[in-house]
Structure 1
Amino acid sequence: MQKDAYTLILDAIDEGVYRPGDRLVESELAERFGVSRTPVREALQRLETQQMLARDGRSLIVASLDHNQLAELYIVRAELEALAAQLAAKHAAPEEVRVLQNMIDEDRGQLDDPEALSRANRRFHHQIHLASHNRYLVQQLDLVHRSMALLATTSLAVKGRGEAALDEHQAIVDAIREGNGDAAASALRAHISRAFETRLTLDAAHHGTAGHWAEAL
């Protein structure tokens, strides 16, 4: 199925082709994606309405998150992700649990590549969302993760964070495998809390300014 202009632009932001602060030009996007300017214009208007894009004078740029927005996003994400893990412990099929385990095992081979690990991380979390078997929760988490695309670099590049994150992933999967919903939710919350703490530490190291960091759980 051919992707529409909205999805193409959103995917490009999610993949880091366009990062916070980058200017998006209608004609350049139309040429890049091989579509006409009208659907690009409509897609840009939709993304601006969703606060994925912001105005800089007459230009549209990829939006960024300030410190308060980041904190608010993590609060919501922690609760929704914890619920997904809790439901996955109840509803996930054995095959889904094996897929999650295989992801962790494969991701350990990417510890020297933070960007690849970050992409793998997104796939892992999305798989937990799907394992919850709750379409409405998946939809809400998709919106949250869309906002996470407005973060520009990965804290998985911090020494030791990648390995620690995978150990945290393992604790989550172990609890899901055991059918322990409370433990799965607790492990997921702890995982996101540690990731947020890493992000705040990075922020403080950059002269106390609000950092713009990519999804790194």
Structure 2
Amino acid sequence: MPRTTKRHMKDQIYDIFLGRIQRGEINHGDRFVDTAVAEEFNVSRMPVRDALMRLSHEGYLDSTTRGFTLPNLSMRQICEIFELRRLLEPRAAALATNQLTEDDIATLTRAVEQSERTLETGEIESLYAASEDIRRTWIMAVPNIELRDTILRYMAQIQAVRMATLRDATAHETLVDLQRDMLRAFVERDAAKVELLLLRYVLAGEDSFLRLKAREQD
């Protein structure tokens, strides 16, 4: 394979895996070995290895002796990521408010409707997917590229936390209510209200996570 084609394939594999991570399609039990991924893409190991190593260097994957996995976060790291989210995400969402297109609003509306249905069905995977759609839509509308990329960098690292908190029946209704309120604020282009609601959303997720951890230790 020509050198330029190898470089192109390496970037393609990187983009595909990054997208899978950010859409929540990769779970913490998944493990990726370069030879198996090379078979999937019908390429040699080198572009696969380069792509997976880049994802590892950027914090999206952990490199182990048995392949690549999502990061296994310590309690300290999780608490620090929540702190980052409290500091960055409310302001980022406020900045995104007036940048959202009509298509973005339509996507947010469908996702919130999907979340609302889970209050009756209890389908946590559907709630997870809807929550990821909401989060990804407003993040991609953030006009400050450095801020957006910083938030995207730790999206993969909060997936296990997100799945745990969404399984918390106590928090389920609260989180859906906040998603509904945020949609209304986005539609009204009320950046100040969006900022407040996003902070409340992060705090609700953090409270749920800490409550679940305390329950596990009892």
Is TM-score (shorter-chain normalized) higher than 0.5?
Answer: yes
Larger relative contact order (C-alpha < 8 A, sep ≥ 6)?
A: 1
Q: CA deviation at 1:82?
A: 0.6
> Quick one: distance in 2 between partners of 1:12 and 1:91?
25
SS in 1 for 2:155: helix
SS in 1 for 2:43: coil
Identity of aligned residues (%): 23
> Quick one: distance in 1 between partners of 2:123 and 2:81?
26
SS in 2 for 1:65: coil
Structure 2 equivalent of residue 213 of structure 1: none
Q: CA deviation at 1:151?
A: 4.9
> Quick one: distance in 2 between partners of 1:171 and 1:157?
21
Contact 2:171-2:204 at 8 Å conserved across structures: no
Query: Aligned AA for 2:38?
Result: A
Deviations 1:114-151 (A, max 9, x none): 11211211110121223444434332222121332465
SS in 2 for 1:51: coil
Structure 2 equivalent of residue 215 of structure 1: none
Structure 1 equivalent of residue 155 of structure 2: 145
2:133 to 123, 127, 135: 123
Structure 1 equivalent of residue 6 of structure 2: none
1:104 to 81, 97, 112: 112
Deviations 1:12-69 (A, max 9, x none): 545354416x54322122223433211111122212222333354x334422111111
- How many residues are matched? 206
SS in 1 for 2:140: helix
Q: Does structure 1 residue 183 correspond to structure 2 residue 193?
A: yes
Superposition pairs of residues 1-217 of structure 1, within 5 angstroms: 4-14=12-22, 15-19=24-28, 22-56=30-64, 58-62=65-69, 63-93=71-101, 96-111=104-119, 112-149=122-159, 151=161, 153-207=163-217
Query: Aligned AA for 1:29?
Result: V
SS in 1 for 2:169: coil
> Quick one: distance in 2 between partners of 1:189 and 1:9?
29
> Quick one: distance in 1 between partners of 2:114 and 2:202?
21
TM-score of the two chains, using structure 1 as the length reference: 0.78
Distance of aligned partners of 1:206 and 1:10 in 2 relative to their CA distance in 1, 3 Å threshold = farther
TM-score of the two chains, using structure 2 as the length reference: 0.78
Contact 1:12-1:18 at 8 Å conserved across structures: no
> Quick one: distance in 2 between partners of 1:48 and 1:139?
16
Query: Aligned AA for 1:126?
Result: R
Contact 1:89-1:180 at 8 Å conserved across structures: yes
Contact 2:114-2:126 at 8 Å conserved across structures: no
> Quick one: distance in 2 between partners of 1:156 and 1:101?
19
Q: CA RMSD in A?
A: 2.9
Contact 2:185-2:194 at 8 Å conserved across structures: yes
More helix by share: 2
Name stretches of at least 5 consecutive residues in structure 1 with no aligned partner: 209-217
